[in-house]
Structures are given as C-alpha cells and as structure tokens.
Amino acid sequence: MQTKRTYHVWTAGCQMNEADSRRLAQQLEFLGYSPNPLAEAADLVVLNTCVVRQQAEDKAVGRLTTLNRAKMDRPGMIIGLMGCMVGMREAPGLKERFPYVDVFMPPSDTGPLLDFLRDRGLFAELRAEELRERDALAAILDEDLPVPALDRGCAVAQVPVVLGCSHACTFCVIPYRRGAERSRPAAEILNEVRSLVRQGVREVMLLGQIVDRYGDDLTDMNLSKLLKQIAAIDGLLRIRFLTSHPNYMADDVLETVATTPKICPHIEVAVQAGNDIVLERMRRGYTAQHFRELIAKIRSFIPDVAIHTDVIVGFPGETREQFMDTFRLVEELRMDKIHISKYSERPKTIAARNLPDDIPQSEKEDRWRMLEDLQTKILGEKNQRWSGQSVEVLVESHHKGKWRGRTRHGRVVFFEDPRAELRGELVNVKIDWAGPFSLIGKTAGAKRSVREPELVPA
C-alpha cells in the first residue's frame, strides 16, 4: 500500500494569509494529503508569504533556501510559493531567482497548485476512483471542506469576505499584490461558515482590507446584511470583523453590532497617524478630527465597545512634532489596543516611488517605544476594571498549564480549570489579576455547553 502523501504550509503575515492557508490545507486534505509538522520531510510544501515589511520577505527567502537544500536530497518534493511575494501578476524574476519552486500562486488563489497536481497525475494517485476525485473537486468549489487536521478542535476561524483593495494608500503594497477589491458572494461565505460550525468552530472573524466596503460590487448586499445573515446560523456563538476604514464605516453596521448579541463589541479601525499632513501624504482621505468624531460616534452606538487601531511611526517626512500629534491623539482617545509598526518601504508603492525613507531607524525605534510605553500605561489602567469581575470567555487553547481564551471585547484571558477539554466552550472566569495585555483568573462555572462538532468525511 502506498504511503499517504504529506503537506506542510508555512504562513507569514496577516490574518488574510492565515485564512488562505487554512483553505489550502482543507483542499489538500480532501485530496488525500495529511499534515506534516516538518517542512523538510513533507512531500508538498507551500510558503504563504507577506511583503508588507522587508523582514517578512527576508524570512520567506530564508525558508526557500532551506527547502532548496532539502529538495536536493529529495527531488520529488513539490515546493509552492504563494501570497504577496508572488502578487496578482507573478513578480518578475521569481522563476529565475527560485528555479526549484514548482508552482507560483497569487494571494487567495490555490488554482495553480491544484492544476499542477492534476497535470502531474497526482489526483489519480491520491484518489483511486475517478468518482472520488470529482467529489473532491466539487467540494473545493462548493467550499464544503473539512477543517485542516492541525486546526481541528479550534474554536475560532478567519473567513475572508473582501479580497484585494482599491484604496491605494501610499504606503500599502496590498493593491499591487492582491489586486483590485472584490467581494465574495454572500451564499459562498454563508456556506463556508456553516461548514466551519458543523466542525466545531464557534467564532468567525470576517476579513477584508477594508471590510466596510463589502458588497459595494454586489447587488443588494452590504456588510450589515451579511453580519445579520451570519448571526442567524445556529451553533455560531461569536462574530468579529476587521479591518475598518474611517471613511467607510457606516451607521447601519454600528447599529447592527449594537443590537445583535452574537457580534462582539469590538471594532478595529486604523488611524495610522494623528497629524493631518502625514495623513494626506499617506492618502488616507480623512483628518485627525474626523477620526476623533468617528471614535465618539462608535462609542455612542456601542458604549462598552473595545476599539483597536493601527499606527505607523516614521513615515517619510514625519517630523518629531507631527509624531507627537499622533502620540497626543492616542493619549486622548485611550483605545483598547494599538498595533504599532515602524515604516518599511515596500516596492511599487506610491511612497517608495515618490517619498524618500528619510527617518533614521533609531528615531523610528524611539517613536515606537514611546507609543508602546503609552499603550502599556493606558491598557494597564483600563484593564483594572476587570479585576475581581466575572467575564465570559470563549476557550481557544491550552497554554503552559492554563486554558487560554478571549472575552467578547477581545481581551486575552488565562485561567485554571481541571477539566480535560474546554475548547469551544463559553465559560465564566473570575479575574484575579489584570495586566495591560492579559487577564488571569479561575473559572466560575460553564456558561453554555456547546454540541460536539460533526466530522466531515475526507
């Protein structure tokens, strides 16, 4: 009997990449592959890459170099390169630079790999009967796929709803790598969520570079309607969505979040900078005052909301005083989490072509540290409200002897409980300690028992 073929998917970058990798793993497992934790020992290895920052691209190149050595020892190994390093149109020179890579895949597009496997006759190898092969391909097209084995038992899954982006901020490589913005059909998304729920997923995170624009290219569909339809799915406990853009966040979405219990009171909306000149150079399309007013509106719709944001420090031409406008904005608004990044020039972006990267790395590091220290102070103060309180936690994993999960507001909670399996359960946890970035406590009792996941046959 032939040994079952194995795969390994390495993922870098954003949650969209994580979702793409999960979908690829689903497809491969339905075709008969099993996961292998060791890339060098797998029959098929796919690197799902990110180029938002140079460091991420360098890591992918390093992994490719290691795989090249492994392939010299095992010539039958198949190597695939996927994601933003490839882009919507294959980046020039990739085949010459990495001749040992067998197949190149744009972001969110697994078709080239499936075609490669078909052309190599590996579908027939993996499916002895032609009917079984057709069933597998039909399942791929219908999105009714099993959760990958390595993810089985996970309570949370990411589901892309908007692919690509058409906004073209000057610093962002996504439009050049992932192509123009397009919304997935609602029926396709709903089928995927139902399939995930049948397999034990209890929370879905809807993804889009500008998720608020979902449905702009569809008939009679928008994000608010999609959220309500997903909330009607039995067995799903929580819904989140990200990332929002200040220019496109609509009142009907805020109203839907405020009135739909399954949707978490958690908004991710990126500010990027708190100075109007810097925002204009970024082509964000709003002012710092507009962002202040938006935060006030969000809080008026959802009084207990948790707001997360993104900030870039050291953007080309950003003076110290302009950075201090960002610092003061963060200090004033006291949001619940800030994803801080140091500006990194990316090829083909408007900024790379027109704006010299003129801020020294040491200055970027200093600005990053100032914001990180401010965030630590703010979150340490805000999280004290939870000390001694009981919070609802969706359990995600077991970590170093403690269970780990998140509140509806997205706060990470570690807690002790003797039970053998809690993943996917909603539990009440009494918080004994509250820090800036996590809470620690003990269970106060199960809040809700959830049914066992259904197994989707492979």
- Residues 242-298 have pLDDT tens digits of 999 999 999 999 999 999 999 999 999 999 999 999 999 999 999 999 999 999 999
Regarding whether 134 and 168 lie in a shared domain, the answer is: no
The per-residue pLDDT for range 148-190, each reduced to its tens digit, is 555 556 899 889 999 988 888 999 888 877 888 999 999 999 9
> What are the structure tokens assigned to 201, written together?
């997923």
How many C-beta atoms lie closer than 10 Å to residue 341's C-beta? 16
| CA-wise closest residue to 205 among 245, 244, 166 | 244
Residue 27's pLDDT is: 78
Residue 458 within a domain: no
Low-confidence ranges of the chain (pLDDT < 70): 1-3, 30, 88-92, 119-153, 445-458
Regarding whether 196 and 133 lie in a shared domain, the answer is: no
How many C-beta atoms lie closer than 10 Å to residue 42's C-beta? 24
| CA pair distance 91, 83, nearest whole angstrom | 11
Domain edge (last residue) among 142, 176, 206:
142
Regarding whether 335 and 285 lie in a shared domain, the answer is: yes
Residue 457's pLDDT is: 35
Regarding whether 397 and 371 lie in a shared domain, the answer is: no
Q: CA angle, 202 as apex, 295 and 446 as ends, to 5°?
A: 95
How many C-beta atoms lie closer than 10 Å to residue 89's C-beta? 10
- Domain holding 441: CATH number? 2.40.50.140
| CA pair distance 231, 51, nearest whole angstrom | 34
Cβ(30)–Cβ(139) under 8 Å? yes
Domain edge (last residue) among 115, 142, 169:
142
Peptide bond before 243: cis, by omega within 30 degrees of 0? Answer: yes
Residue 455 within a domain: no
Regarding whether 137 and 14 lie in a shared domain, the answer is: yes
Regarding whether 190 and 105 lie in a shared domain, the answer is: no
Residue 59 within a domain: yes
- Domain holding 135: CATH number? 3.40.50.12160
Domain edge (last residue) among 329, 352, 382:
382
Residue 141's pLDDT is: 39
On the CB side of 149, CA atoms within 13 Å amount to 15
Residue 454 within a domain: no
φ and ψ of 428, to 5 deg? -95, 130
- Domain holding 262: CATH number? 3.80.30.20
Regarding whether 334 and 212 lie in a shared domain, the answer is: yes
Regarding whether 432 and 331 lie in a shared domain, the answer is: no
160 phi-psi bin (left φ>0, alpha ψ -120 to 50, beta other):
beta
Residue 347 within a domain: yes
Regarding whether 170 and 199 lie in a shared domain, the answer is: yes
Q: CA angle, 15 as apex, 13 and 20 as ends, to 5°?
A: 90
Residue 310 within a domain: yes
Residue 140's pLDDT is: 39
Residue 453 within a domain: no
Residue 298 within a domain: yes
Regarding whether 156 and 119 lie in a shared domain, the answer is: no
Distances (CA, A) of 343 to 208, 361, 373, 376: 22, 9, 18, 21
Domain assignment of residue 284, given as a range: 150-382
Domain count within the chain: 3
**Run of H or E including 328:** helix 320-333
Regarding whether 395 and 334 lie in a shared domain, the answer is: no
Regarding whether 101 and 198 lie in a shared domain, the answer is: no
